[in-house]
């Protein structure tokens, strides 16, 4: 156990050291005399006085932000494809090779719609950090595929842009389900195959961190659609993995839990401030557990699986969200990963490989997701 704890602290140390380095570099990064940094989220994002936004990789985190190009020959039983839809969004499709082989003889399978994290401001579905979790997940689950949306990023595209994009992906599913001829020629064979194997009456939303908030927000948007708008697409469930719920007043877990590889207090404050609509703060239906719940009081929501982690800075508001939703009569199953595991620990593929506790908790998390999907 002591050794395992060391592995985790070591990665945290690398990240913290990187953040210090990134700050030191900042002073020399300005080339134009008139261009100054007006906002900075250490290691991740810089905004300049001329309005340009620069997205960075904290030194030491390169392995996580490395782009994994799509591939057509199965690796670990999965192929990966980037598709431009005619709904104004690009998506990454993880396709289990098994589904291809057995498709004609087997029942149709559910579809996962993935909404990535990054505080609404950073990260891409093509990054290794997502690929290394979601590609194996596509093979592990009995699904037709996992579709991950290239979400518009703030501050250029503040909320509700990402909610619109998530909803656009549902409309794309609807188009694919309803018609044979709505997608671009470049991917038509692929999409036709997806169409044949997918059960669009069993679409599950899944999201990490701020993507977890989007699971709630996109489900709410779909719940407000006029009846039949999405038909035959139906939301069968939502999986919120360590969602980014937070209030203006810091919760106890924010004050007491240590910062981790993927979440520091500065990121909660600054990324959410840049991601929320202008003039809106964390005490809003986008991030407050209570106000998010209140906003869907009269909206039909699918059953939800809420996963939290004991050492996540946002553990308390996450659990509060589950309680508030349940109190409001919504179906929510809350599962907390116990022990020294923090925000989106399952995405840290180094720790999953080297740390027994992280490996165990990740296996349990995947099992919990699998059971939830099989049951809905």
Ligand X SMILES: *[C@@H]1O[C@H](CO)[C@@H](O)[C@H](O)[C@H]1NC(C)=O
Task: Supply the residues annotated as catalytic.
Answer: 209, 312, 343
User: Taking contact as CB under 6 A, which single stretch among the options 55-63, 327-335, 354-362, 368-376 is the one that binds ligand X?
Assistant: 354-362
Residues 20, 153, 150, 139: what is their CA dihedral angle, to the nearest 10 degrees? Answer: 40
Specify which residues 109 forms β-bridges with: 198
Q: What is the dihedral of CA 204, 208, 211, 216, to 10 degrees?
A: 50
Residue 351 lies near ligand X (rule: CB under 6 A)? no
State which residue, 205 or 365, has the beta carbon closest to ligand X. Answer: 365
83 binds ligand X (CB under 6 A): no
Radius of gyration of the chain from its Cα atoms, rounded to whole angstroms: 20
Q: Annotate 112-173 with DSSP letters as a single string.
A: EEEE--STTTS--TTBHHHHHHHHHHHHHS--SEEEEE-PPPTTTS-TTHHHHHHHHHHHHH
Angle among Cα 165, 148, 89 to the nearest 5 degrees reads 35
Nearer to ligand X by Cβ, of 34 and 249: the residue is: 34
Asked whether position 360 contacts ligand X by CB under 6 A, the answer is yes
In the complex, least distance from residue 36 CB atom to ligand X, rounded to whole angstroms? 11
Q: Provide, rounded to whole angstroms, the least separation between the CB of residue 1 and ligand X.
A: 6
**Residue of 168, 182, 176 whose CA lies nearest to 197:** 176
Whether the Cβ atoms of residue 354 and residue 272 lie closer than 8 Å to each other:
no
Residue located via tokens 């996450």: 318
Q: Which of residues 3-22 bind ligand X (CB under 6 A)?
A: 4
Say whether residue 354 binds ligand X (CB under 6 A). Answer: no
Q: Which of 32, 73, 181, 249 binds ligand X (CB under 6 A)?
A: 32
Pick the stretch among 154-162, 201-209, 341-349, 353-361 that binds ligand X (CB under 6 A): 353-361
Number of chain residues interacting with ligand X (CB under 6 A): 6
The reply to whether 34 sits near ligand X by the rule CB under 6 A is yes
d(CA 121, CA 39): 13
Q: How far is the CB of 32 from ligand X (least distance, A)?
A: 6
Smallest gap from residue 356 Cβ to ligand X (A): 4
Decide if residue 89 touches ligand X (CB under 6 A).
Answer: no
- Shortest reach from residue 131's CB to ligand X, in Å: 25
Q: Shortest CA distance to 62 belongs to which of 118, 114, 18, 120?
A: 18
Interface pattern 303-342 for ligand X (x via CB under 6 A): ----------------------------------------
Cα dihedral angle (124, 126, 130, 133), rounded to 10 degrees?
170
Quick one: 214 exposed, middle or buried, by C-beta within 10 A (0-12, 13-18, 19+)? buried
- Indicate the residue among 52 and 356 with the shorter CB distance to ligand X: 356
Q: Which of 356, 367, 371, 374 binds ligand X (CB under 6 A)?
A: 356
For residue 357, the minimal CB distance to ligand X (Å) is 4
The label of the residue with tokens 């360590």 reads 242
Burial of 186 (0-12, 13-18, 19+ CB in 10 A): exposed
Is 28 a residue that touches ligand X (CB under 6 A)? no
Should residue 368 be labelled a site residue for ligand X when binding is judged by CB under 6 A?
no
Which residues of this chain interact with ligand X, rule CB under 6 A? 4, 32, 34, 356-357, 360
């Amino acid at each position: 156990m002591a050794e395992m704890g060391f592995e985790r602290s070591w990665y945290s140390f690398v990240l913290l050291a990187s953040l210090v380095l990134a700050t030191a570099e900042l002073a020399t990064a300005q080339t134009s005399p008139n261009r100054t940094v007006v906002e900075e989220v250490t290691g991740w994002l810089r905004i300049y006085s001329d309005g340009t936004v620069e997205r960075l990789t904290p030194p030491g985190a390169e392995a996580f932000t490395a782009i994994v190009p799509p591939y057509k020959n199965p690796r670990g039983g999965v192929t990966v494809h980037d598709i431009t839809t005619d709904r104004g969004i690009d998506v990454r499709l993880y396709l289990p090779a098994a589904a291809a082989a057995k498709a004609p003889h087997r029942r149709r399978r559910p579809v996962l719609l993935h909404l990535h994290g990054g505080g609404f401001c950073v990260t891409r579905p093509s990054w290794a950090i997502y690929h290394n979790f979601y590609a194996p997940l596509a093979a592990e689950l009995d699904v037709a595929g996992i579709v991950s949306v290239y979400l518009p990023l703030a501050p250029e595209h503040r909320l509700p842009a990402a909610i619109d994009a998530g909803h656009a992906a549902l409309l794309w599913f609807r188009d694919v389900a309803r018609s044979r001829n709505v997608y671009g020629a470049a991917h038509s064979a692929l999409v036709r195959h997806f169409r044949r194997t997918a059960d669009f009456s069993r679409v599950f939303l899944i999201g990490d961190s701020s993507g977890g908030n989007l699971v709630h927000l996109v489900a709410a948007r779909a719940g407000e659609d006029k009846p039949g708008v999405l038909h035959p697409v139906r939301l069968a469930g939502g999986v919120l993995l360590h969602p980014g719920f937070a209030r203006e007043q810091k919760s106890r877990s924010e004050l007491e839990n240590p910062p981790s590889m993927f979440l520091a207090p500065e990121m909660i404050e600054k990324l959410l401030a840049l991601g929320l609509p202008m003039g809106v703060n964390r005490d809003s239906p986008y991030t407050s557990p209570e106000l998010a719940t209140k906003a869907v009081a009269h909206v039909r929501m699918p059953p939800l699986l809420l996963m939290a982690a004991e050492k996540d800075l946002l553990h308390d508001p996450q659990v509060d969200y589950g309680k508030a939703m349940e109190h409001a009569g919504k179906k929510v199953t809350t599962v907390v990963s116990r022990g020294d595991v923090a925000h989106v620990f399952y995405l840290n593929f180094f720790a999953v490989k080297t740390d027994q506790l992280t490996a165990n908790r990740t296996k349990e998390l995947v099992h919990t997701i699998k059971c939830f999907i099989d049951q809905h």
